[in-house]
A and B are shown apart, each in its own frame.
Chain A
Amino acid sequence: MTEVDARSRPRPADGSDPGQAPSKVTIGKALNLGLRAAMERDPKVILMGEDIGRLGGVFRITDGLQKDFGEQRVLDTPLAESGIVGAAIGLAIRGYRPVCEIQFDGFIFPAFDQIVSQLAKLNYRSQGRIRMPVVIRVPFGGGIGAVEHHSESPESYFAHTAGLKVVACSNPVDAYWMIQQAIESDEPVLFFEPKRRYHEKAELDLTATPVPLHSSRVLRRGGTATIACYGPMVKTCLEAAESAAEQEGHDLEVIDLRTLSPLDLEPVHESVRRTGRLVVASEAPGESSIASEIAARVQQECFYSLEAPVVRVTGFDTPYPPSKLEEEYLPDLDRVLHAVEQSLGW
């Protein structure tokens, strides 16, 4: 079942050969390996979701896991997001570490009540007696030629809710480590996966020491201006930085936020104190967003260092448009560079 990429089809399952020792792996495969490692390490890790078992999920992220770990640990659920997440909460109350897959970003909303009303609050409500080591994996964002419900970026709703942690990976190395760290976390983690980047490849060293889950990382050093981004926008922003270096001689610093709640803004502050300029990029609409939060905090922390207002480059404040217009909707390299120009021209 590949409802994966509506634009370029047909396509291979996940771009990598499961039989071979992985050296270069895709984000999809890295997540698969990370889930596998977590399941091997801890028998209390249980996966649940729609068609994730026998079929390995629409994006094939859980491919082969039911075969290897059995139907007790990789559960094919009925079509019932509220039931899936609610049951995961119940499992967590009894000491399990469930990992739920939400098939597409827009399908998380039937579970919104369980996430916001129960998952986020049980630890607080029980004053620490009930921990909620639940991970909810959400393939998010656009760029695959799909439409509303299948291309959305709902991360801000969750970051807005105290008690939830929200992260987004952008590359295979982070995908591999972050999913394991999220599963090990004793708190609920909304784990956003950049679906249009599932096929991006990188070397994965399984013996490396991962950076902590809730930390941002500078991916490219530069002194002209800072770009903070996450998820699918990281690749776009790195490309924008390359292009700005080649064509304009600008030297842009690119920071992958990785953690959206709690934010880790120290690297951003440090960077902005050097560059004096910040562009925040996301696919999510700008209003009341992660990007807004960063703009607010950076202007507070770095007021005297800023040479220009923080510029946001985001999806438009509209519902997700039809696929024919998604290229206009999604912030692309040009829009990122335009935002940089605005900052520089201030």
Chain B
Amino acid sequence: MAKRRPTVREPRGQHGPAGEDAATDGGQRREFYRRMVFIRRFEERAARAYTQAEIGGYCHLNLGEEATVVGLMSALEQTDYLFTNYREHGYALARGVAAGRVMAELYGRRDGVSKGWGGSMHLFDGNARLLGGYGIVGGQLPLATGAALAIDYRGGDEAVACVMGDGTTNIGAFHESLNIAALWNLPVVYVVVNNGLGMGTTVEKASGEPELHRKAASYRMSSARVDGNDPVAVREAMLSALASARSGRPFLLEAVSSRLKGHSVVDPAKYRTREEVEALRTSDPVAALAFRLRDEGELTDEAIAEIDAEATSAVAAAVAFAEASPAPSVDTLFDYTYATPVPNDSRRLPGQPLFEPAPLPRIGADR
């Protein structure tokens, strides 16, 4: 593979609904806060809908990872590509996908981003260049690597961001992908969202190298670790990671935060000790940022309440949109199993005649 010519570009700043005061330092953090609260309220509402059995399948939330999500996504250009795991609602929202369409997808309704067929774990939106959440751990890594290879072929200056969890660094696809990307100088940033747990297993129990960013060393890949609870730090770290990737040097970025709740909505997380649960209180990035902004005089209590109310009503609108959308119809069950019409495909429904009754001989039929 040819070495990519360095094509570093000045980042264009956050994308998505731009905060009117995002230019200043405090303004940027206020905007981050707004986005984080929005994800927080969205996820809480999704959890409720799940418990009410409005949402089926499984439902993994970004609760505790909001700062990481908005920091990372603000660093991406609109033209960059994103692959994630199944814990990706926040990423879709931060990427600018309409909240109603995300919620409708969770609800399994026709106006969801994948007409209800992808569900919570498999959000996909080509316009937002969100090339999929993936339910198989590690599934997204080789794919993201290939998307970066495609950029390399075409010679564009986009980059690919590939988000995964800490547990994912232990599966073969992680190592195969990083090796290929390093070898071929691909424009990809692998982001490990280290929330300390893969389901109930801690990083220390699962990784021979628990400082996960160091795993990049095996591939002579640059890497860094950042406080995932600080959206500004995450943004800065991601901007330099992306700059590296765009110049043909793939990057491994580790963002450390906490998963505030269970692995998925059905997980009561009983494996956590009382102390661990206590400790979580202090690692809530949304609350922490609110405190700081208030302390520093950037946000008043009224402003905080207003941001909350805005988020809550936007989420309520998303839910209303989802609820109004019809469920997919059964007769579309076979649609898109294949991309093109399949010759000799009977579209047989099991239980329908496996062997159609032999046609009666047609007397005097044309020869």
Interface residues of A (CB under 8 A from B): 1-7, 9-10, 50-51, 54-55, 58, 76, 78-83, 106-107, 109-110, 145-150, 286, 295, 309-319, 321-325, 328-329, 331, 335-336, 338-339, 342
Docked-complex contact A324 and B328, CB < 8 angstroms: yes
Cβ–Cβ contact B121 & A325, under 8 A: no
- B270, A1: Cβ atoms closer than 8 Å: yes
Shortest CB-to-CB span from B335 to chain A, Å, is 9
Q: How far is the CB of A55 from chain B (nearest CB, A)?
A: 5
Residue of A with least CB distance to B208 = A78
A110–B171 CB distance below 8 A: yes
Contact of A321 among B117, B137, B198, B348 (CB under 8 A): B117
Instruction: State how many angstroms separate the Cβ of B196 from the closest Cβ of chain A.
Output: 14
Chain A residue with minimal CB distance to B55? Answer: A323
- Would you call A110 and B138 a contact (CB within 8 A)? yes
Is the C-beta of B199 less than 8 angstroms from some C-beta in chain A?
yes
Residues in B with CB closer than 8 Å to A310 are 354
Q: How far is the CB of B174 from chain A (nearest CB, A)?
A: 10
Which residues of B lie under 8 Å from residue A295 when comparing CB positions? 354
- A107 and B350 in contact, given A1-B271, A55-B200, A79-B206 (Cβ under 8 angstroms): no
CB pair A338–B351 under 8 Å, yes or no, is yes
Given contacts A6-B58, A78-B207, A335-B350, contact A148 B135 (CB under 8 A): yes
Nearest CB to that of A55 among chain B residues?
A: B200
- Whether B56 and A145, one on each chain, are in contact in the complex, defined by CB atoms closer than 8 angstroms, is yes
One of B13-21, B28-36, B259-267, B278-286 at the interface: B259-267
Is A3 touching B328 in the complex (CB atoms < 8 A)?
no
**Which of A318, A323, A328 is within 8 Å of B57, CB to CB?**
A323
Q: A331 vs B56: C-alpha distance in the bound complex, in angstroms?
A: 20
Q: B339 at the A/B interface (Cβ < 8 Å)? A: no
Are A312 and B350 also in contact (CB < 8 A) when A1-B200, A2-B266, A148-B135 are? yes
User: For B217, what are the chain A residues with a Cβ–Cβ distance below 8 Å?
Assistant: none
**Bound: A338/B354 CA distance, A:** 12
Specify which chain A residues have a CB less than 8 angstroms from the CB of B57 in the assembled complex. 6, 145-147, 150, 322-323
Given the known inter-chain contacts A76-B201, A335-B350, please indicate yes or no for A147 contacting B266, CB distance below 8 A: no
CB distance from B189 to the nearest CB of A (A): 21
Q: Which of B58, B167, B173, B199 interacts with A1 by CB under 8 Å?
A: B199
A-B contact pairs, 23 of them (CB 8 A): A1-B269, A3-B264, A6-B57, A6-B266, A10-B266, A50-B198, A50-B199, A82-B172, A83-B172, A107-B137, A110-B173, A145-B53, A147-B119, A147-B121, A147-B135, A312-B350, A316-B349, A322-B117, A322-B119, A324-B116, A328-B333, A331-B350, A339-B351
Q: Which 9 pairs across A and B sit closest by C-beta, in order of nearness?
A: A323-B56, A147-B57, A78-B170, A335-B351, A314-B350, A78-B206, A79-B167, A324-B108, A313-B351
Q: Tell me, in angstroms, the Cα distance from A147 to B172 when the chains sit together.
A: 24
- Knowing that A78-B170, A147-B57 touch, tell me 7 more A-B residue pairs with CB under 8 angstroms: A1-B263, A2-B268, A50-B201, A78-B205, A109-B136, A110-B173, A147-B58
Contacts of B167 in A (CB 8 A): 78-79
Nearest opposing residue in chain B for A286, CB measure: B350
B residues within 8 A CB of A331? 350-351
A324 to B56, CA, bound (A): 7
Q: How far is the CA of A254 from the CA of B147 in the complex (A)?
A: 51
Tell me the number of A-to-B contacts counted with CB atoms below 8 Å: 158
B327 at the interface (CB under 8 A from A): yes
Judge whether B116 and A322 touch: CB under 8 Å: yes
B340 within 8 A of A: no
Q: A51 near B200 (CB under 8 angstroms)?
A: yes
Known contacts A80-B171, A321-B117; decide if A150 and B58 are in contact (CB<8 Å): yes
Asked if B337 and A319 make an inter-chain contact with CB atoms under 8 angstroms apart, the answer reads yes
Which residues of A have CB within 8 Å of B222? none
| Docked complex Cα distance between A210 and B72 (Å) | 58
In the complex, which residue of chain B has the Cβ closest to the Cβ of A106? B136
B247 at the interface (CB under 8 A from A): no
Determine which residue in B57, B199, B205, B351 has the highest number of CB atoms from chain A within 10 A of its CB, and name it: B351
CB distance from A66 to the nearest CB of B (A): 12
- Judging by beta carbons under 8 Å apart, are B58 and A325 in contact? no
B364 CB-CB contact with A under 8 Å: no
Q: What separation, in Å, do the CA atoms of A156 and B261 have in the docked complex?
A: 37
A324 to B54, CA, bound (A): 10
Complex Cα gap A79–B118 (Å):
24
**Shortest distance from the beta carbon of A217 to any chain B beta carbon, whole Å:** 24
Residues of A within 8 A of B350 (CB): 286, 312-316, 331, 335
Q: CB-CB < 8 A to A145: which residues of B?
A: 53, 56-57
Asked whether A6 lies within 8 Å of B351 as measured between CB atoms, the reply is no
Q: Are B330 and A328 interface neighbours, CB within 8 A?
A: yes
Q: Kindly state the separation between the CA atoms of A324 and B351 in the bound complex, as whole angstroms.
A: 21
A51 to B137, CA, bound (A): 15
Residue on A with the closest CB to B109?
A: A324
Query: For residue A286, which residues in chain B have a CB less than 8 angstroms away from its CB?
Result: 348, 350, 354
Partner of A6, one of B56, B170, B201: B56
* A229–B349 CA distance with the chains assembled, in angstroms: 18
Query: For the complex, what is the distance from the CA of A185 to the CA of B206, rounded to whole Å?
Result: 31
A79 B267 Cβ-Cβ under 8 A: no
Partner of A149, one of B117, B135, B266, B333: B135
B345 CB, nearest partner CB in chain A, Å? 9
Nearest CB to that of B172 among chain A residues?
A82
A79 adjacent to B172 (CB under 8 Å): no
**In the bound complex, what is the Cα–Cα distance between A3 and B200 (angstroms)?**
11
Q: Are B267 and A1 in contact (CB under 8 A)?
A: yes
Residues of B contacting A82 with CB < 8 Å? 171-172
Q: Are B171 and A79 in contact (CB under 8 A)?
A: yes
Q: What are the residues of chain B within 8 A of A324 when measuring CB–CB?
A: 56, 108, 116, 327-328
Q: Check A9 against B266 for contact (C-beta < 8 Å).
A: yes
Residues of A within 8 A of B118 (CB): 322
